[in-house]
Structure 1
């Protein structure tokens, strides 16, 4: 029973986790929007800010060669998958790309990792500038479970309390965190609520991802 619970609460990179199930549902919604908006125009150029190759491997749109995806991270990632390439860059400064360089800018759970509201604003402006369309997702600050730690309500705690819980107990997915990793996450994560997210993307439609009647995450898009 405990092992099943740990699997359910594991990172969304783990296929049996709750986060992975939500990711699959989100990607299905994304695929529907892409098919509807870009029918007859494939392949389209996509910039995935903070994306990894394993996120896309096995996805129908990539397998069908409907997407040509550029993965952007702080360091270039070795990629040997048709339809995927990788570049080094900064989400808050995409000056290597002219306006409208991509048919679509995609980002999944990245904008909350940028330390400050100023950096989040910069990323939002850059995503809208370089992409003709965009699909940007982030967790909801007011969802009861903080998604990075799988702990309830710790987003409202002083960071010193959360650091203690992460490094001195096994309450976070049954594991103790390395202190350096815990501090890094506590420093960089700034969760957004719906009002803040809408302010970053004022012209976007906001798609609410629900769990038990509560909004777990938001996606801003203009598809």
Structure 2
């Protein structure tokens, strides 16, 4: 595939307002096997694969029962799928980027099952160049592999690419892959943390970024 300019988008917390539903799902999944964790620690671990998230938050005790935890988490996510909604301006932003001739790629650490529900909510398949998930990589953000995989899947030229995400992991993974990252606050991570991680710009949500689109760092992609 020939390379072209493009924008890579995280999904959970960035384009879909799902972070707090995810926190509740992971909390119930841990409690189902007698484990517990503060909700804020779960929130800060979002963006990593399920196994890495559980390992980060509860350690070996969670990894030893990860299959059970993951199964309950999947059921909890499925039960709340009807509560998923796009973040403000999410669909309009992605369509505006595509209309400017840039390739659009979803680069998420969500499982294949979770991604199906997220894609239904977004309803953007007609303008997406590629979609990558946890199934496509061995390491999750902040490792650069998810970003590099998304670049390759979409045929995106790294010299003319930008990442849009809501977590410190997004910013760090993009930087490790040589991409600037525009940070969004709609995922619940503070501005100071995103800037300290290396975000080149900050916006409240996709609608805010869309309002400033052609003056933003995304102009690198067209």
TM-score by length of 2: 0.40
| Larger RCO (CA under 8 A, 6+ residues apart) | 2
More strand per residue:
1
TM-score by length of 1: 0.40
